[in-house]
């Protein structure tokens, strides 16, 4: 079974958190990843594929790889309640809320190659709404780990359902997979679409169609 919405995939507190700066990005983030071990593994991997990690162009590559993977998988070390914080607010309305075109970047768990695209989210409140920026943070929490697109859609929908307990949630994910573009069939223009529907979005065709019609209007 896939991990639940709050699952971070690892036990927290087992290692000291350290601040890491990504080269040439200006981005600094905290991580508990064993960067020294990851760096050693990256150097060994370079040797296995026939490279020399001691040559000038690769001297800092293991360090860069370790930091990059700590960032790309930081979703394992996040918790839903921390991501959402205090951004759940009371609301009287019950009209559909749609958040379109949330960008995501993830890593395919089958080949460790990137896939990326957009997430579209809809929900019908039942007394609570979520601050709009938190939808992007929830998407990132589940995208920044090894993933398959089908599970990504389900985890996002289940997380929103857990946080808001709305009448229903709909999530559509559109993705482009480099494992199809760089290897195997090498198809450059294919796109994969997956969805997850909960509550009235699954049970009521009219509600589902209203949500999907918002996605077809070409403004995503």
Residues 6+ apart with CB under 8 A from 56: none
For residue 144 the two structure tokens come to 């920044």
214 is catalytic: no
Q: What is the pLDDT of residue 85?
A: 95
pLDDT value at position 26? Answer: 79
Q: Residue ranges of the chain with pLDDT lower than 70?
A: 1-15, 185-186, 218-220
Is 189 assigned a catalytic role? no
Q: What are the structural domain ranges in the chain?
A: 18-76, 87-215
Active-site residue, 179 included: yes
Architecture of domain 18-76: Orthogonal Bundle (1.10)
Convert the pLDDT of each residue in 153-204 to its tens digit.
999 999 999 999 999 999 999 999 998 888 776 677 788 999 999 999 999 9
- Beta strands 146-147 and 97-108, pairing class: parallel
CA atoms within 13 A on the CB side of 103: 1
* 16 part of the active site: no
Pick the CATH number of 87-215 from 3.30.930.10, 1.10.150.20, 3.30.1130.10, 3.40.470.10: 3.30.1130.10
Q: What is the pLDDT at residue 3?
A: 46
Residue among 109, 165, 203, 209 flagged as catalytic? 109
Predicted pLDDT at 1:
39
Determine the pLDDT at residue 183.
Answer: 79
Q: What is the pLDDT of residue 217?
A: 77
Catalytic entry in 81, 110, 203, 209: 110
pTM of the model: 0.88
The answer to whether the annotation marks 189 as part of a ligand binding site is no
């Amino acid at each position: 079974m896939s991990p639940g919405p709050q699952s971070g995939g690892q036990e927290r507190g087992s290692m000291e958190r350290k601040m890491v700066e990504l080269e040439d990005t200006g981005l600094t983030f905290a991580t508990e990843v064993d960067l020294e071990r990851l760096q050693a593994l990256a150097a060994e991997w370079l040797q296995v594929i026939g490279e020399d990690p001691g040559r000038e162009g690769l001297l800092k590559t293991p360090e860069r790889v370790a930091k990059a993977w700590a960032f790309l998988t930081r979703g394992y070390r996040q918790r839903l309640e921390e991501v959402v914080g205090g951004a759940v607010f009371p609301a009287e309305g019950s009209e559909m809320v749609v958040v379109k075109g949330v960008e995501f970047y993830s890593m395919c768990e089958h080949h460790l190659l990137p896939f990326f695209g957009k997430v579209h989210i809809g929900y019908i409140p039942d007394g609570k709404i979520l601050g709009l920026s938190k939808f992007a943070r929830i998407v990132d929490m589940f995208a920044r780990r090894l993933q398959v697109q089908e599970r990504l859609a389900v985890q996002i929908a289940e997380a929103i359902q857990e946080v808001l307990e709305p009448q229903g949630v709909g999530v559509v994910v559109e993705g482009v997979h480099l494992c199809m573009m760089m290897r195997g069939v090498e198809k450059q223009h294919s796109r994969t679409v997956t969805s997850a529907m909960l509550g009235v979005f699954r049970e009521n065709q009219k509600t589902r169609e209203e949500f999907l019609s918002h996605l077809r209007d070409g403004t995503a």
